[in-house]
Amino acid sequence: MLVIYGSMEVLELKTGKLILLSLLLGIVLALVSTVRFETVSIPDLVVTKYGFPLFWLHHQTISIAGSIDLWSFEWLNFIIDFVFWFVVSVLIVLVLQKYRKK
């Protein structure tokens, strides 16, 4: 038999909203992190790397064969980046929630 107390139900709802909000904010922050970029330019190679704290998107425009337009995506770096931003967003939401109650 499942008994749900009123305060427990509210707590679970708040926790669910917290996780959902943090997931959405983590995805948005990970995608917004592409505004940080670094261009690596050496003879016969130009690559622009996007992402923060890890680079997870690469755009190669010049190679030894000439001009190209090659995009590459690093899944592992993106997942680590997302987890980083998810943790940051959980902390932001918790701090905002704490100060909102006062």
What is the DSSP annotation of 14-61?
A: HHHHHHHHHHHHHHHHHHHGGG-EEEEEETTEEEEEE-SSS--EEEEE
* Confidence check: pLDDT of 74 > 80: yes
* Per-residue pLDDT at 7: 44
**Residue 48 included in any domain:** yes
Residue 57 has pLDDT above 60, yes or no: yes
In a domain, residue 9? The reply is no
Is residue 12 one of the residues assigned to a domain? Answer: no
- Residues 7-56 have pLDDT tens digits of 444 444 477 788 888 888 888 998 899 899 999 998 889 999 999 999 99
Residue 38 domain flag: yes
Whose tokens are 């987890």? That residue is 83
Residue 59 belongs to some domain of the structure: yes
Please indicate, yes or no, if residue 6 is contained in any of the structural domains: no
* Residue 74 maps to a domain: yes
> Is it the case that residue 102 has pLDDT exceeding 70?
no
Residue span of the structural domain in which 85 resides? 29-101
Q: What's the domain count of the chain? A: 1
In a domain, 7, yes or no: no
82-91 per-position pLDDT tens digit: 999 999 988 8
